[in-house]
Structure 1
Amino acid sequence: MHLLIITELLAALRNTPYGKAPGPDEVYSEALRHISSKGLRFLLRCVNHSWTTGTIPAEWRRATIVPLLKPGKSPELLESYRPISLTSIVSKVAEKMVLKRLLWVWTPHPHQYAYRSMRTTTMQLAHLGHEVEHNRNHYFKVNLPKKSGIGNQLHYRPHRTLLVLVDFSKAFDSIDHRVLSRLLANIPGVNCRRWLRNFLCGRYAKKRVGNRHSDRRPMLRGVPQGSVLGTYLFSLYVHPLLNLLNSFAGVTADMYADDLSIIVKGQSREDAIPTANMVLKKLHAWSQENGLAINPSKCEAAWFTLSTHTDSDYDREGKWPLVVAGCEIPVMTMGASRTTKLLGMDLDPRLTLNVAASKQCAATSQRISQLRCIAHKEAGPSPYDLRTFVIGYGASKLRYGSELIWAVATDSAKNEMQRTYATLARIVSGVPSTVDPESALLEANMPPLHVLCLRARLSIFENTRACQMDWMRRPPPEPPPRAGFRISPLSRDELYAFVDAYTKDYGITQSSPREERFFRSSIPPWFAASAHRVTIGVELPIDPSITDEEELTREKRRVSEEALALHSHRSWILATDGGVDVPKSAGVGILLSSLNSSEIIEKASINCGARPCSYRTESRALLLALEKLIVPRIRHRHKTLLVVTDSQSLLAALNKGPLSQTDWTEDQIRQRLLTLTCAGWSVRLQFCYGHCGIHANELADQHATQTMETGQYTEQGIAPLWHTDLLTCFTTQLTNKWCSTIRQDTHRYLLCGTRPSDLSGKDLITQEVLHRQELIHLARARCGEPELWGRPYWAVRDCTNQCRFCNISPEQSAYMRSNNDPTAPGTDTVPPSARDEDVSPVRRRTVTRRRKQKCPYCDSTLTGFSNLVSHYRSFHPEHPPPLPELKCDFCDIVFPTRRSTAQHRNRCAHSPEANRHRNRSAGRRSPLPQDRPASPRARQLARRRPCTICF
């Protein structure tokens, strides 16, 4: 193979994170990241010597093992510690360079979901859910005896699914080097094979506890723990195992690292268990041959079914045991006391994931208790910093697997998750628990949970499509012979219909072409040797003390012209710009002979779609300009190019290097640039500030605006849809729908609408930094729940932010005078003594919300509809039972049930009693002054004695 180049070394150093513990050589990653150019060349020579000769330095094969106690484990037990292996940082840099070469000639197994781009734990869980639902949609015939005992009757039953979870004991430490060497023999490239073989040999490790070190011991088995290549070598080791297990009919095997899951389809236990035992027997034989040991005590199995009364699903007599390595594996069925856990997700027999949702809410509640300790209302972090920490520590625990939970869980489980999520939002904003969830989310500037879950569900579906999974390409099963057809959580038809309903207004449908997803760079590492001929100017510093807009514009123009003047001698000037004016967009590139020339040599433009972001139009414009304007001139005798763009984010992304790109368009741009440099071109990409008078940039901007107005593009068709733009459009539409359906009678909505709060922590007028107590007081005031006047203010809505007894409105004063005047019309004539007895706490009856029901056949008045029905049965049996009143008394809306009617009636905006009921719940009406009569609660308080606080 070719020698390793400096571009590969820079990419490996860029991907080396800070803050990592050093290995035995005591070299820190921070030191390598700041090494000089001379040191880089020396390091590259050392790595190339190791690459060409296959000699691995001894320090690269040393490791220090530090045992860390597992959470909640006893420190006296040896198995309570997790060994952490610390290896050389320099060795990790070399391993990353070799890994780039290895992944170009070898691809991990498609059923291995770990250590691969765009594959996650939730994708494997989605595969399991898809297989279970797909099997349930396949029915088979069964003849069962009739209840009368005479003859049989034909029934249709869905197929069952058996899941077997296999655990390997110390899988990474049990790898046989001889077997792995035989597998490495199939890897192309002499240098790569030899380097990987020698990387496994002659390794030593010593243990460190505190300041004490043990003697070093040879590592004769296993892949190097703590290394970069160790996990990929393990994937190579189990590659034949996945091929073996997936060769059986009706059997699917997946792995995430060393966690193996086997899915078996069957009509009953009598059908599925023998198949699973045969597969486990083959697995046990392969494990013995290759040095891996199965731990039967940690193996689990689950039987997924919908039926609760089918005897063949339980196997109470133990006729069909599941056995591996001579030990029986317990099978979790319907009604079991425990559930099976796969990749941190609890799986119930129906696969509704309700148990998983409840346990995640419980685990999040523990973290909520911890977050409350640091989120005090008077001291603590700013809302912005606290929001970042809450999302990363609390919401991440709640949202794990939420894209699958939201697809199959019941409404009660979803509501529990939403309540927990609202609690996290209240912690961020500092508002009390009585604030409604919508206001709390807007105050915390956090999107709703259902929007995040649906967005994640669409994202994993698009990733699965891009990975071209076999289980997503197969057609759906035939419709069942009876009702109750169940769809997969990742059903294409269901998701397409759901997404199209939100994105069709922007011309985005299921047939819209998608941009290719990025899996790996299209540039071979050894072809990037000429990448140094591409230079990028990203930063243009300006004086931060300038505040005047005109002076700031002149300063931007000055620094931009100075940066461009240094490269004005170049033969070709390429100016690119992107424009977005929804639903129009354009990516434009123009070719000039000089920076100040107004004559356009050639131009190119493309329609970027109805809803692209500005970054996507800029990147599409640059890619199109390189393809259509520069690459055709690759053999021209003038080979110097200056690219002028006002997209600083695009240049910052390209500045990562040709081997560090994470987006398909950026990778294609880098590929075009390398094509030019291999032909002898010298390219400079220079950033300039936009709309400050730079001639080339203004010319490109005018052409982009003109192209969007006329709709005349040089390229036919529309650019493929970017994955991020699809998710952004879908999220925006979901958020807008949520904003249109939230309650509009809350204090915060009337004050701020649906605008989220500003978490910058600064006064918007004076720009002074506010401390946490002031920010929380502002948040509570916006929600109508401040400490000083919020609670009394809710009791009497007609008062201002003062005492609720002293500051009485004119209507309340008039009502008080009418109550004190016994001659006033409509007043109660009961003597004061009797009135006092009626309101005494001893004899007072509990106020009920049940409606008074009057019998139409007699003069009886009963409380509640159920009492009216009992009255009919007892005294009027000759008449038909009464029909429930399902129409609201105030707005004439008809509801399906009495429960929904009563719930609406208690909160109907047209009800004069609605305010009294709302004041007891979290979702309250606004206390802003409005023209409405005083509530009965206000009149009752007005009759009481004067306030003891003010007198």
Structure 2
Amino acid sequence: MTAIIQWNCRGLMRNFDDVEFLLEEHQPQALCLQETHLNASLTNFLRRYCIFRKDRADASVSAGGVAVIVPKHIPCCAVDLATGLEAVAVRLLLHKVVTVCSLYIPPSFALTLSDFNDLLRQLPEPFLLLGDFNAHNCLWGSDHVDSRGRMIESILMSHSLCLFNTGEPTYFSPSSLSSSCIDLTIGSASIFTSFTWVADTNPHGSDHFPIFLKTNLPPKCVPMRTARWKFDKADWSVFTEATQLACTSFDKISVDQVTELLSESILHAASLAIPMTSTHLPRRPKPWWNEECTESRKKQNRAWGIFRRYPTQSNLLAFKQMKARARNIRRQSKRKNFQGYASSINSTATLKEVWDKVHRIEGRYHAFAVPLLSHNGVCPESLEGQANLLGQHFAHASSSENSSPAFLRYKEQAEAHAVKTSGAVREAYNQPLTQHELEMVLRSTKPSAPGPDGIHYRMLTHLHPSTLLLILYLFNRVWQEGRFPLAWKVAIVIPLLKPGKDASCASSYRPIALTSCLSKTFERIINKRLMYFLEKQNILDKNQCGFRSYHSTADHLVRLETTIREAFVNKQHCIAVFFDLEKAYDTAWRHGILQDLYEVGVRGRLLAIIKSYLSERTFFVKLGAALSREFVQETGVPQGGVLSVTLFIVKMNSIARSIPPSVQYSLYVDDLQISVSSCNLSICERRLQVAINNLLKWADENGFRFSPDKTVCVCYSRRRGISIEPTLRMHLTPVPVKKEHKFLGLIFDRQLSFISHIKHLKIKCQKSLNLLKVLSHKTWGSDRLCLLRIYRSVIRSRLDYGCFVYGSARQSALKVLDPIHHQGLRLAIEAFRTSPVLSLYAEGNEMSLDRRRFSLGFMYSLRIRSVAQHPAREAVEGTKYQKTFENKPSIIPPFAMRNQNLAQSVGIDSKLPVATVARLAAPWDYNCVRCDFSLTKFNKKETPTEVMRQEFFELHKEHDSHSHYYTDGTKTESFVGCAMIGPSVRSVRRLNSSATVFTAELHGLLLAVDHIIQTSNSRSVIYTDSLSTLRALTSLETPKNALVALLQNKIIAATRRGCSVLFCWVPSHIGIPGNEEVDRAAGTSGNRAVDISSIPYRDYCALIKYHVKAQWQAEWSLQVSNKLHMVKPFLSEWQSARHRDRFYEVVLC
């Protein structure tokens, strides 16, 4: 087999096809290139390979440069060289660890003996030195000896090195039509017998011949991959039938045995119905390669063969012509193929197809690079050994050795008293798990990698109903016994290199843990119960915004910006400290988590299963297809676990008690920020130092450790002149003071100008615009609709994040982002570069960034106001310094005032009434909602009205013993209303005119349910013609609408009172008496005053859009001299903007 290829390619990109051919045809473990002619701007090619390169410093000249290209399945790491020579070295695992160095010495370079000796001293033994030396000596087949050749010969003798050359020519001179030997392969004596040196007879696109180092020794790393399921070719009907099981005979076996049998049966069914990929690495396909490319390469090789046998000028010219023609054919074929590929990314393709292709163009699909690690100078010579090194590092990160002596003493005393897990059997959260909870969790899961058992989420969603019952049986066994199956406690860890870190260091890798999908499904059920209990009892800290409903990172961004703005207007300093917890998840104290849960009232099964979940956790590290030995995770919450985040938040919950009331703070999972504002810098220092000391004490008592290096202090102030930096310490280490810091994705500079953040954002968006440049073209490429979707998803989404916070920057700073927005629109709609900006907005039907910032900010304020106890509510509703800000217009006001002023300028009331979000129903109570959808089987358009009425009457007759209610909602241009009629009852309500018809229908159902509860009707049926409301009520997803959650709670309350409520869908306007009567009643609501003014905040989307569009239209109507305005006076989307052909779309629009 070919172990290493050495080649002076005379331009890597120029002969890229030949480089790819050598890599795919011979599959070497390393390819050493000389004269690559690369510069720093050329990146992201050969994505399945690690490329180690050294380019010429002078980027204006395409010359020189060396590279070593290694397949990503080969463990490798760079060797740092301090030399003036053009050399790059890599250590890689072949049959043993070998250092490979690619070297190029130009003919004009003044090579000295000391330069060469310095290079050799830096190469770890054993090594191979391969390169173009431009040296002549009879020792390697030259016909004469020069001074450089004598120097190389003396080095070979003095260093006891071996020359691998056999005398075959390695270079052909087109000018003299002669061959010579100037490419050398030099190596350590210990590996001389391991390789055979062979020179190719075809130079391909260069004038140097490729050199092959072949070996018969088996490699340590076989190119293999883990076999994966081909779900796109699965026969799910076969799979479902094959998983049919019964759970009657599992009572006498243990939970571990049930888990094993269940896993085996699912995998057996999968093997029957779902094909798998092979373990061999697939060859990279070339969709652009065609018969013409094959024929042109044959002609090129044939021309070279003739020239090699008969070296004349005419044959040389013929060879060059064939080579140029073959290269041109390949380029044309590539171009046409890519044009077709780009054109297939359009609005007619499925969303998955579009994003898969977009990610491929962006280079998102990178093969995993296997690292080459060493410990104390020893480098394991197997993949298993490399994996063990990573496993030792990850295990050490979760070891108690990282804890301080003070905490270890505290821990020993605390763990002497075990946490009791018995009792509280009657607590609602401890009752058996329900089938509805299982189905709800399976519906909400997203496809992710399987764990050690190989079971995928997609398998779980296609199981036979009897198997689902068996899974529920298993879950309840685990729940009642309080013991996690051992197979669920094992994780497969994939090491992921941190950006910008040294690949040869184990600490540079982040562990990504893969656990059983069955385990994560069970964890999700338990997590929903635990979160419901924590939220219902108001246990979680108010300022904790991580992984909680109706909370986000924007909450703390708004709060911090408001705090700093208020300090500015009062001429105060605002000093903020941003903390960093070292290995927070890995060092979380497990016993402390159980203690905290016990203190807040968690008992019984829930506490017992969490205790079992945290204990006896182990993991394997996976490198390629190799697994390490098993390691123990001694401390911390399990990586990759669903419950882990919630349990970590519980452990962080007590941190608030350590922060004095005079100190403001923000907490997003483990991202902690504290701040103090005062005119006196000493007061700020004193208060913050007290808080820091308290936090350090809290960390010592809970097993955490703050990083002194990554914890940062920023002093926000508008005072000019020499600024005095605050002095804060963590133990004896000073806290670094910086001028800016990135907090939750936004860069807060000391004067809160956001200029640094805007510049950083612009650079990121400019890189993302390259994708649109690739996909957009006048005659081919994606269509307008697809390009706009990609722009909004990839680029505009970056601009949107935190935009209503950094939108407080001066207009001159915000204008920096406008060109990004404009260029994205120009590329999507293929507008002229001279097209006016307002024309771009009108043509693309896309508003300006200013208007979008207001829309997002106003909707955010409505969402915050819909939550009764929200940490950002005070910052959103107003500021206590409003008069002060009004008296100082030069100072930028906080978000609340800006939002209010912008709303007034648009014509919207900033205090719109918003319905408060209701608490979600308990997870175990969701199955109380019963709906009859039997009439949906009839198509209203195709079924005669009489047939539909007859079917309804039969349905009505089935429920003769029930009390019958009819509800309806209506929305017109002037009013919104709802109505409910029933036995001796008729109720009509008028709603806020901004309410949607969906909200009106829900209020109608609420009227009926409220009446049923008040009258205590034991059996009731509610008829409605709103299918969307009933589907929302019975949806397995968590409700996002406040009224849906409220209605679910009321239905559950009615059920508990003995009131059975059944909802039935009926078609509208087919002559059903009750439905027609309630429809007329709802129409009379326009004669009433508004009864219900508070509506869900999402209902105001249409109102905001209407007012913003009206302001935009008024601005556009003033552009009477604009050429586009004459054609398109009203803002809307062109009908021809959705043409499938890019050429016609550009011409028509």
Same fold (TM over 0.5): yes
How far the C-alpha of 1:208 sits from its partner, in A, is 0.9
Quote the residue 1:651 is aligned against.
Answer: 1030
Q: Deviations over 1:526-582 (max 9, x none)?
A: 444544x4444695564xxxxxxxxx8454847854763562222344332222223
Equivalent positions of 1:494-509 (< 5 A) are: 495-496=899-900, 498-500=902-904, 502=906
Structure 2 counterpart of 1:940: none
Q: 1:284/1:760 Cα in 2 relative to 1: closer, same or farther (>3 Å)?
A: farther
1:862 alignment partner in structure 2: none
Tell me the equivalent position of 2:781.
380
TM-superposition CA deviations, 1:202-240 (whole Å, max 9, x none): 111111111111111111111111111111111111111
Whether the aligned pair in 2 keeps the contact of 1:184 and 1:197 (CA below 8 Å) is: no
Cα distance between partner residues in 1 of 2:1120 and 2:1067: 43
Matches within 5 A, 1:719-868: 719-742=1093-1116, 743-758=1119-1134, 770-779=1140-1149
Residue 487 of structure 2 aligns with which residue?
A: 59
* Distance across 2 between alignment mates of 1:248 and 1:238: 18
In 1, are the aligned partners of 2:677 and 2:684 still within 8 Å (CA)?
yes
1:131 aligned onto 2:131: no
Secondary structure of the equivalent of 1:568? helix
Structure 2 distance, partners of 1:43, 1:379, is 52
Pair 1:329 & 2:745 matched? no
Are 2:1013 and 1:631 aligned?
A: yes
- Displacement of 1:604 in angstroms is 1.6
Match of 1:202 among 595, 607, 616: 616
Partner amino acid for 2:749? D
Distance 2:768 2:927 in 1: 50
SS of equivalent residue, structure 2 residue 817? helix
Question: What secondary structure does 2:709 align onto?
Answer: helix
Output aligned runs, 1:616-695, within 5 Å: 616-628=999-1011, 630-636=1012-1018, 639-645=1019-1025, 647-657=1026-1036, 660-678=1038-1056, 683-691=1061-1069, 695=1073
Offset of residue 483 of structure 1: 5.0
Following superposition, the deviation at residue 684 of structure 1 comes to: 4.5
Q: 2:994 aligns with which of 611, 625, 631?
A: 611
Q: What is the RMSD computed on CA atoms of the aligned residues?
A: 2.9
- Deviations 1:774-822 (CA, angstroms, capped at 9, x unpaired): 212222xxxxxxxxxxxxxxxxxxxxxxxxxxxxxxxxxxxxxxxxxxx
Counterparts in 2 of 1:734 and 1:624: CA distance versus 1, 3 Å: same
Structure 1's 22 and 308: CA in aligned 2 closer, same or farther, altered over 3 A? same
Query: Are 1:564 and 2:952 counterparts?
Result: yes
What is the Cα deviation at residue 642 of structure 1? Answer: 4.4
Q: How many residues align?
A: 706
Alignment of 1:18-37 (within 5 A): 19-37=447-465
Contact 1:384-1:759 within 8 A present in 2 as well? no
Please tell me whether residue 95 in structure 1 is matched to residue 523 in structure 2: yes
User: Which residue pairs with 1:598 in the alignment?
Assistant: none
**1:126 Cα offset (Å):** 0.8
Task: Rate the CA distance shift 1:366–1:623 in 2: closer, same or farther, 3 A.
Answer: same
Q: How does 1:39-78 map to 2 (within 5 A)?
A: 39-78=467-506
Residues 578, 621 of structure 1: 8 Å contact kept: yes
2:770 pairs with one of 354, 369, 377:
369
Aligned partner of 1:405 in structure 2 is 806
Q: Per the alignment, do residues 691 and 204 of structure 1 end up closer, same or farther by CA in structure 2, a change over 3 Å counting?
A: same
Contact 2:854 2:899 (C-alpha < 8 Å) held by counterparts: no
Q: d(CA) in 1 for partners of 2:817 and 2:549?
A: 29
Task: Give the superposition deviation at 1:758.
Answer: 4.6
Structure having greater relative contact order (Cα 8 Å, sep ≥ 6):
1
The answer (yes or no) to whether the contact 2:762–2:820 under 8 Å persists in 1 is yes
Checking the alignment, whether the CA contact within 8 Å between 1:129 and 1:489 is kept in structure 2 is no
The 1:611–1:662 alpha-carbon spacing in structure 2 relative to 1, beyond 3 Å, is closer
Tell me how far 1:707 sits from its aligned partner.
3.1
How far apart in 1 are the matches of 2:831 and 2:1031? 40
Identify the residue that residue 826 of structure 1 maps to in structure 2: none
Match of 1:525 in 2: 923
Quote the residue 2:443 is aligned against.
14
Q: Deviations over 1:745-776 (max 9, x none)?
A: 323322122332257865xxxxxx63222212
- Kindly indicate whether residue 843 of structure 2 is the aligned counterpart of residue 415 of structure 1: no
1:55 match: secondary structure = coil
Query: Tell me, which stretches of 5 or more residues in structure 1 are unaligned?
Result: 139-157, 334-338, 543-551, 593-600, 763-768, 780-951
Change (3 A) 1:71 1:332: closer
Cα distance in 1 for partners of 2:448, 2:885 equals: 60
CA distance in 2, matches of 1:682, 1:482: 58
Partners of 1:122 and 1:729 in 2: CA distance: 23
The answer as to whether partners of 1:136 and 1:486 remain within 8 angstroms in 2 is no
For 1:185, the aligned partner's letter is Y
| Distance in structure 1 (CA, Å) of the matches to 2:484 and 2:438 | 17
State the AA in 2 paired with 1:666: V
What amino acid maps onto 1:30 in structure 2?
A: R
User: In 2, distance between residues paired with 1:541 and 1:490?
Assistant: 56
Hey, what's the Cα distance between the residues in 1 that align with 2:513 and 2:475?
22
Deviation at 1:432, TM superposition (A): 2.9
Alignment map for 1:428-507 (pairs within 5 Å): 428-465=828-865, 466=867, 467-469=869-871, 471-472=874-875, 476-477=880-881, 479=883, 483-484=887-888, 490=894, 492=896, 495-496=899-900, 498-500=902-904, 502=906
1:589 matched to which residue of 2?
980
* Residue 578 of structure 2 corresponds to residue 165 of structure 1: yes
The secondary structure found in structure 2 opposite 1:515 is coil
Q: Which moved more, 1:421-430 or 1:560-569?
A: 560-569
* Superposed CA offset, 1:458-502 (max 9, x none): 233234433443754786138559952677755545544543564
Q: In 1, distance between residues paired with 2:1120 and 2:935?
A: 46
Q: 1:248 to 1:712 in 2, by over 3 A?
A: closer
TM-superposition CA deviations, 1:903-927 (whole Å, max 9, x none): xxxxxxxxxxxxxxxxxxxxxxxxx
Distance 2:935 2:748 in 1: 50
1:419 partner letter? P
User: Are 1:641 and 1:681, in contact at CA under 8 Å, matched by a contact in 2?
Assistant: no
Q: Are 1:275 and 2:687 counterparts? A: yes
* Residues 18-45 of structure 1: per-residue CA shift (max 9 Å, x gap): x211111222111222233322222222
Residue type at the aligned position of 1:580: K
The TM-score, its normalising length taken from structure 1, stands at: 0.69
1:665 Cα offset (Å) = 0.5
* Other structure's SS at 2:675 match: strand
CA distance in 2, matches of 1:69, 1:643: 58
In structure 1, what is the equivalent of residue 637 of structure 2? Answer: 223
Inter-partner Cα distance in structure 1 for 2:1070 and 2:790: 39
Give the aligned partner of residue 799 of structure 1.
Answer: none
CA contact (8 A) 2:969 2:997 kept: yes
Cα distance in 2 for residues equivalent to 1:220 and 1:622: 53
Are the counterparts in 2 of residues 607 and 718 from structure 1 also a CA contact under 8 Å?
Answer: yes
**Do the aligned partners of residues 426 and 475 (structure 1) sit closer, same or farther apart at CA in structure 2, a change above 3 Å counting?**
closer
Q: Distance in 2 between matches of 1:290 and 1:404?
A: 34
Tell me what 2:967 maps to. Answer: 576
CA offsets per residue over residues 172-214 of structure 1, 9 Å max, x none? 1111222222212223331111111111001111111111111
Tell whether 2:541 aligns with 1:109: yes
Partner of 1:188: 602
Q: How far, CA to CA, are the matches of 1:475 and 1:752 in structure 2?
A: 43
Calculate percent identity across the aligned residue pairs.
Answer: 21
1:259 to 671, 674, 686: 671
Shift of 1:670: 1.8
